[in-house]
Amino acid sequence: MPESAGWQFAVEIHPPDWSFPAGKTWVGGWIYAGRERLVTDLRAWVDGRPFLGLHGLPKPDLDAKLLGRPGPPYAGFVLLLKPHRGASLLRLEARDPAGNWTEFFRQPITVAADAAPCPAPPPLADRLVALMPPLLRRRTQQPHAPWAALADEIVSAELAERLDSLPVPPFFGALEEPRSTTGWLRYGRMSVTGWLTHRTAKIRRITALADAVQESPLLLGLLRPDIADIFTDLPGKEHSQFSGHVDLPANQSAPALLKVFAELDNGEKHLAFARRFTPCVIAGADTPLPTLSRVTFAKALWALRASARRHGLPTWDGAKLMAAAKEAWSAYRAEAPAPVRPHRPVAVTASAPADNSPLRVLVATHNLNFEGAPWFIFELARYLGRQSGISVCVISPQEGPMRRVFEEAGMPVEVVDLTKAFAAASPAELSAALNLTVGASSLATAQSPGREQARSHNAINWNETDLVVANTMVSFWAVQLARAAQKPALLYVHESTAVRRFFAPILPPALFPLVEEAFRAATRVVFTADSSRTVFEYLNDRGNFRLLPSWVDVARIDAFAAAHDQAALRRKHGLDPEAVLLVNIGSICERKGQHIYLRAAELLREELRHTYPGKKIQWFMVGARPGLYLDSLKQEAELHGLDNVVFLPETGEIHDFYRLADIFVCTSFEESFPRVLLESAAFRLPIVSTNVNGIAEMLAPDEAWLVPPGDRYQLAEAVKSALAAHFAGDTTRADRARAAVVRRFHEANSLPLHLALAREAARLG
C-alpha cells in the first residue's frame, strides 16, 4: 500500500512487467485521499499523451474499511490505455477539489514493437476557438495564477482521450440526457434520463454521481412503451425509463464525469453508464468572461500558443492561426462584459417642495403571481396612489391572484395577451404584435389628437397616461410602447443576469438588442441593489441609471406580530405547535435552490436526531406551484425518506409563515434584493442565506449566517449553527439584522425617494 502526497493507493491491474502489447490495455486499482480530502478526477500520462480514466468506482469491502462505512466516496478506478510505439513512462495523477493535479504514481514501461506510432496532435488553429473561452473563464476564477499554468490545464484537458462506458449484457439500455459531450446545467443541476433493464435480474435502484460524494437516486420504473418495438423479448422493457438530476459543484473539472449505477435485487452494484461531458451553464451562477480587453485576449492567445508547443501541437500555419484568432476574438467580444464607464452617482432626494400636480401612472408588471416582484410593485403603486393628484392602473400579460390584491386597493387591472409578441422572430414583428394587442389604435390617437379615440378592449389609452412604470426587465415591451407613444418610463430591474443569458430560453436572439434598447430608452432605470446595476452598466450610455433603497413596512409587520400568536397560527395551518420550524419562503423553482435545501435536510437528518433527541425539527417550503421541479423535489424527499419536509402552496397570507417560523432559510442562486430577507429580519427571525448579488448589501456576516450558493455542506453547517443559537436562546444575529433593516430600509425613508424619482421622470417626459 504505497503512499504519495498522503494518499493511499494500489495499482492492481496492469500488464505483466509493465510491458504493454499493441492495442488497448486496462489499468486499474484504487486510491484513497483520506477523510479530509477527495479525489475528483484521475488521469494517466503515457509520455506526453493524457488519458482520462473512470474514477470513483465502488469497491465495497475496501470502501467500508477505509471510510468506516459504505461509500461514496468510492475508491476504485480504471483506465483504458493505448500506449504508442516507443513510449517509456506511465504517470498517474489525481485531482483534488481545488483543481490541483498531483502525481501519485510513475512507472517505466515498454511497448510492443508492432504498436501504433504516436498519433499526430491536431494543430492549434483547429482547437483555438474551443480553447479560448475556458481559459478566459479560468483566468476569472484564478486571477493571480500564471497564464502558462492555466493554459496547460486547458490544453491537456482538451487533448485527453476520454473513456465512456455503456451497458454490458445482460444489461441493456441507453443514456439519453446528457445527450453527448455537453451537460446543460440549471442552477447547479443536470438532468439525467434514459432507460435500463436487465435480462435475468430485477433492478432495485438506479443512482447517478457527478461529483465525489453526492450520489443521487433516480426515479426508476417509468413507462417506456417504445422499447417494446425494438427489444421484443427483453424483460421489464415497458417500465425501463429512469429520470432525475445530479448536482455539480461549482469548481467541477471539465470534462466532468457522470456515472450511473444499477443496484440489483441481490445487492450487487454495477456501473451501467459513464459519460464524459463539458458542463455548460444555461441558468444559475457561472464564471463570467473577463471584461472585454485586447490585452487580456492577447495574453491568453500567447499562453495557448506556448502551451500548444509544450504539448507538441503544430503552430506553424500562421494564416490559419490568425483566422482562428479573429474568430475567437469575435466570440469573446460578443459575450464578454463591456468595460464599465462609471457615471457620477446622481442623488435622488425627497426634499423638493410638495408636488400635487395630476399624474396618471400605468404600471406594467410581468405577472400577477404571489411573488416578490409583483408584491414590490404593488406596494410602490399603492404608495403612489395614496399621494394627492396621482392615480394608478395596472397592466399585465398574465393573470394571477395579485389581480384581486391590486383591485381591492383601488387600482384597476387589465390583462393583455402578448403571446404573439413574445413569439416574434424579429423586432419588426414584435413591434407589430405589441401595437396590434395593446397599442395600435391608441397610438394613432395619441399622435393625432383630432381623431376620435377608438380604444379596443386591450389597448392602452395613452391620452390618460403620463408615466409608465415597467416592473422587471421582462416588461421591456412596456418601455418600447411608452417610447412609441412619447411617454416617460421608469424601468425597475430586479434581475441580476445579463440580458442575453436571461432571455436565451424565452426569446430569439434577434430580439435581444430590443431588450437592451429598453435600458437606454427608459427615462430612468431603477435598481435596488448595486450588484445588479453593475451587471447592466454597459447599457448606461445616457447616465439614466439610478440606485434607490428598497423598503420594508415595519409598522405593519410589528402590528401583525403583536396581533397574532405563533401557536395559534400554527394551528390555523395544521402545523405542530411544538416543532422547530425552518421555513423557506419563495416560489418553488430552480433559481430559488430548494433542491439544496433538501440536500441539507438529508445531510443533517441523523445528526440532528442525535444532537436534539426528542425535538421535532421540520423543514418547510412555502411557494409550491405545480410543475416538474416540484414533482422532482417531492420524489427526492420520498426517495430519501425525508418525512420532516413539508411543501405548502403559494399564498397571500405570507406574513403568517414569517410569524410561525423559528428560522428562515434562503437558498437562492440569484437574487437582486429579496424582500423575503427584509421581512424576515423585520420579524426578528434568525436568517440563513446564500450570499448572492444584493444580499451582501442587505445583511452582514454578523447579522445572518451567509453561505455560497449551491453548497449543501456549508448550508448544513449554517443551519446547525442557527439551530444551536435557537436552542440556546441567542438572538444576537436576529437583533442585529432587525436593527440594520429598520435603520436602512424603513419605508418612511425609502418610498418618498421613489415618489420623487417618479415625479422627476414625469417632468422630463
pLDDT single digits (tens) 585-608: 988 888 899 999 998 999 899 899
| Angstrom distance (rounded) from CA 59 to CA 447 | 77
What DSSP assignment string belongs to 217-267?
EEEEEE--GGGGGT-TT-TTGGG-EEEEEEE--TT--SSEEEEEEEEETTS
Mean pLDDT, the chain, as a whole number?
89
Residues 6+ apart with CB under 8 A from 335: 133, 289, 500
Strands (E), 47-145: 49-52, 54-57, 76-81, 89-95, 101-108, 110-111
Greatest mean pLDDT range, 28-42, 72-86, 182-196: 72-86
For position 350, what pLDDT does the model report? 65
Q: Is the pLDDT of residue 691 over 80?
A: yes
For position 346, what pLDDT does the model report? 66
C-alpha of 748 from chain center: 35
| CATH match for 359-551 among 3.40.50.1820, 3.10.290.10, 3.20.20.80, 3.40.50.2000 | 3.40.50.2000
For position 185, what pLDDT does the model report? 83
Q: Is the pLDDT of residue 642 over 70?
A: yes
For position 173, what pLDDT does the model report? 95
For position 341, what pLDDT does the model report? 62
- The whole-number average pLDDT for the span 612-638 is 88
Domain ranges of the chain: 1-119, 123-339, 359-551, 554-745
- The whole-number average pLDDT for the span 115-141 is 93
HEC states along 346-391? CCCCCCCCCCCCCEEEEEEECCCCCCHHHHHHHHHHHHHHCCCCEE
Give the pLDDT band (50/70/90) at residue 213. Answer: confident
- The whole-number average pLDDT for the span 348-376 is 85
Q: Is the pLDDT of residue 368 over 80?
A: yes
Q: Is the pLDDT of residue 582 over 90?
A: yes
**Higher pLDDT among residues 78 and 186, named by residue:** 78
| Angstrom distance (rounded) from CA 18 to CA 25 | 11
**Residue 90 to residues 81, 108, 623, 627, Cα–Cα distance (Å):** 10, 6, 55, 51
For position 247, what pLDDT does the model report? 83
C-alpha of 153 from chain center: 25
Give the pLDDT band (50/70/90) at residue 11. Answer: very high
- The whole-number average pLDDT for the span 150-165 is 94
Strands (E), 479-562: 489-492, 524-527, 545-547
Q: Which residues pair with 461 in a beta bridge?
A: none
CATH class of domain segment(s) 554-745 = alpha beta
Cβ-contact 133, 287 below 8 angstroms: no
- Sort 612 into a burial class: Cβ within 10 Å, 0-12 / 13-18 / 19+: middle
For position 439, what pLDDT does the model report? 62
For position 407, what pLDDT does the model report? 96
| Angstrom distance (rounded) from CA 187 to CA 195 | 25
Residues 514-545: pLDDT tens digits? 999 999 999 999 999 998 888 888 889 889 99
CATH class of domain segment(s) 1-119 = mainly beta
Classify 66 in phi/psi space as left (phi over 0), alpha (psi -120 to 50) or beta.
alpha
Residues 542-577: pLDDT tens digits? 899 999 999 999 999 999 999 999 999 999 999 999
Q: Tell me whether the omega of the peptide bond preceding residue 72 falls within 30 degrees of 0, making it cis.
A: yes
Percentage with pLDDT > 90 across the chain: 63
Residues 427-446: pLDDT tens digits? 888 888 887 777 644 333 33
Report the CATH fold assignment for 123-339. Answer: Immunoglobulin-like (2.60.40)
C-alpha of 268 from chain center: 35
The yes-or-no answer to whether 123-339 and 359-551 have a common fold is no
- The whole-number average pLDDT for the span 171-176 is 94
Cβ-contact 514, 500 below 8 angstroms: no
**Residue 671 to residues 19, 147, 682, Cα–Cα distance (Å):** 57, 33, 19
